[in-house]
Amino acid sequence: MIHLLIILSLIVVDAAIFIVLLMHILLRRRGTSETRLAWVVFIILIPYLGALAYLLVGGIYFGRVRHHRHISLHANNAPNEQPDLEDLPGMEPRTPSPYRRVFTLAENLCPSDLLGGNHLDLEIDSENFLKPLLEDIENATRNVHLLTYIYLADDTGRQVASALRAAAKRGVHCRVLVDSMGSRDFLRSDLSREMEADGVQVVEALPASLFRITIARIDLRNHRKIVVIDNKIGYVGSQNIADPSFAPKAKFAPWVDCMVRINGPAVHDLQELFLEDWFLETGETVEGLYEELPHVQQDGADVQIIASGPNLDHGSFTMVLQSCFHVASEEIILTTPYFVPDVATETALIAAARRGVATTLILPARNDSRLVSLASRSHYEDILRAGVRIYHFNAGLLHAKTLTVDRQLFMLGSANLDRRSMELNFEVNMLGWNPDFAGQLRLLQLSYQNDSTEIKGQEWLNAGWKRRLARNAAGMLSPLL
């Protein structure tokens, strides 16, 4: 009798736990139906482990203090008043229809605007990025702001640190914000301490530890890559502060990235984004930087900075990306290291190919995440049937996240095409219109394609049952990846 009562009690407890978690999942204000269903299935299949996983990483919360700081910051619109930019010559965007509709959507979703008059330099790899970056830091006179997900104490990291330390010694305010998990070893390194000793402020973004799991989700990360120098020059893209050999995962090297150097009004939006992240972590506001008028390049590119994250409107990056697919009339070329799209994004890509847009997807042949790689491949069948051409890049891990549309519209930045970037992490992308720059970026994409092998549709569709089983099983977890 006692044993029966114990068994019945355990059944009641299990049912109560499941009902409470089910209601919590269904009552969440953020997230998609796919994600909710995936969590429910996961908890049913692996009850206790699934419940624990959901409690650890199921919610979207980044800490009460940051939440209140974000509210206070936006209640005042900004820590400082920005200048009136309407009358500056060269600022008026020239983007034609139908591409202007993409920016109209982005302006309604994001706190930034489409700004003309930007000079853009495409830095096609880590070497091309490092040289001008070091020169710009060496020429800095007032401030250098650097935000990155991964900072390694390797040759690249030491060269950047040396330039920052020299700048700090001559009175330049140097602020470095690095993600707690991505830059864990750097934060504990002698290099970090040496930088701080010379006056460089090094701050840990979203501190992660088991002791913090009750107040903040530990796997929600700041994945942005931003550099702003003297409020005039900015960098944005996919490059971490690390060598291409990328010591933590050297067997996938080289890691292939690209960045853009911006000189123009859009740098103000990068600066605002950095300072907001800095304020969320430190509570420190930086005076005076918003009051300066930006330098405007005549006949420059139209650019908008697209910020996304748990503290901003949900789905901004995803909806802008889908809008880019919808306005395409001739060609789409897309590169990303992690391709695990939601249904709407995949459908928009398929629809573009179905209506005759030449659609190309370039992904790494070898991925540093086996599970994500399998989940990614579970999406191939439908998009291959629609006529999308898929290429596997063979010359390293293609880490660049780039998009060109009709040789006119372009986007690049830190966000991957997976749920983590689309729904969870702090990300930043640059959306723009300029045929000259779009042409340069397209040539870079074609160089990736030349180092790739095309996936033959019929061969892929004829894969054995074991491969299809592994891919589709991993694909079921797509909403959670």
pLDDT by residue, tens only, the chain of 481 residues: 666 666 676 666 667 766 776 776 666 656 666 677 676 766 766 676 766 666 665 566 555 555 445 555 555 554 444 555 656 677 789 999 899 999 999 999 988 899 999 999 999 888 889 999 999 999 999 999 999 999 999 999 999 999 999 999 999 999 999 999 999 999 999 999 999 999 999 999 988 755 555 555 566 789 999 999 999 999 999 999 999 998 888 888 899 999 999 999 999 999 999 999 999 889 888 877 766 777 788 889 999 999 988 767 667 899 999 999 999 999 999 999 999 998 899 999 999 999 999 999 999 999 887 777 778 888 888 899 999 999 999 999 999 999 999 999 999 999 999 877 887 789 999 999 999 999 999 999 999 999 999 998 776 666 665 666 666 565 565 655 5
Told to judge if 190 belongs to the known catalytic residues of this protein, a careful annotator would answer no
Query: What's the CA gap between 189 and 191, in Å, rounded?
Result: 5
Alpha-carbon distances of 454 from 255, 368, 407, 450, rounded to whole Å: 20, 20, 22, 10
pLDDT at 157: 97
pLDDT at 279: 92
Told to judge if 399 belongs to the known catalytic residues of this protein, a careful annotator would answer yes
H or E stretch including 168? helix 155-169
Strands 226-229 and 255-256: unpaired
Place of tokens 């439908």: 382
Token readout for 277 is: 């992240």
Please, are residues 121 and 267 in contact by the beta-carbon 8 Å criterion? no
Query: What's the CA gap between 42 and 48, in Å, rounded?
Result: 10
pLDDT at 80: 45
Q: Would you call 17 helix, strand, or coil by DSSP?
A: helix
Residue among 379, 384, 366 nearest 340 (CA): 379
| Of 225, 268, 295, 314, catalytic | 225
Class level of CATH domain 64-103+113-304? alpha beta
Residue among 481, 473, 226, 181 nearest 338 (CA): 481
Q: Which residue blocks in 290-336 are alpha helix, DSSP H?
A: 316-327
Characterise 309 by phi-psi region: left (phi > 0), alpha (psi -120 to 50), beta (else).
left
Alpha-carbon distances of 95 from 19, 24, 121, 297, rounded to whole Å: 52, 44, 19, 16
Report pLDDT digits (tens) over 298-314: 889 999 999 988 767 66
Told to judge if 406 belongs to the known catalytic residues of this protein, a careful annotator would answer yes
Report pLDDT digits (tens) over 366-411: 988 777 777 888 888 889 999 999 999 999 999 999 999 999 999 9
pLDDT at 333: 98
pLDDT at 367: 86
- CA dihedral over 217, 219, 220, 225, signed as positive or negative: positive
- Of the CA atoms within 13 Å of residue 478, those in its CB half-sphere come to 25
pLDDT at 209: 59
| Of 277, 302, 342, 406, catalytic | 406
- CA dihedral over 417, 434, 331, 349, signed as positive or negative: positive
**206 DSSP assignment:** S
Token readout for 385 is: 């049937």
Q: Which residue blocks in 28-58 are alpha helix, DSSP H?
A: 33-45, 47-57
| Of 295, 314, 401, 418, catalytic | 401
Residue among 445, 245, 259, 253 nearest 336 (CA): 445
Told to judge if 251 belongs to the known catalytic residues of this protein, a careful annotator would answer no
- CA dihedral over 349, 350, 353, 359, signed as positive or negative: positive
Note the CATH number of domain 316-480: 3.30.870.10
Told to judge if 74 belongs to the known catalytic residues of this protein, a careful annotator would answer no
Characterise 323 by phi-psi region: left (phi > 0), alpha (psi -120 to 50), beta (else).
alpha
Told to judge if 456 belongs to the known catalytic residues of this protein, a careful annotator would answer no
| Of 136, 179, 230, 418, catalytic | 230
pLDDT at 111: 84
User: DSSP E strands: which ranges in 189-249?
Assistant: 201-205, 226-229, 233-237
| Of 223, 232, 268, 314, catalytic | 223
Amino acid letter for position 309: G
Query: What's the CA gap between 315 and 221, in Å, rounded?
Result: 16
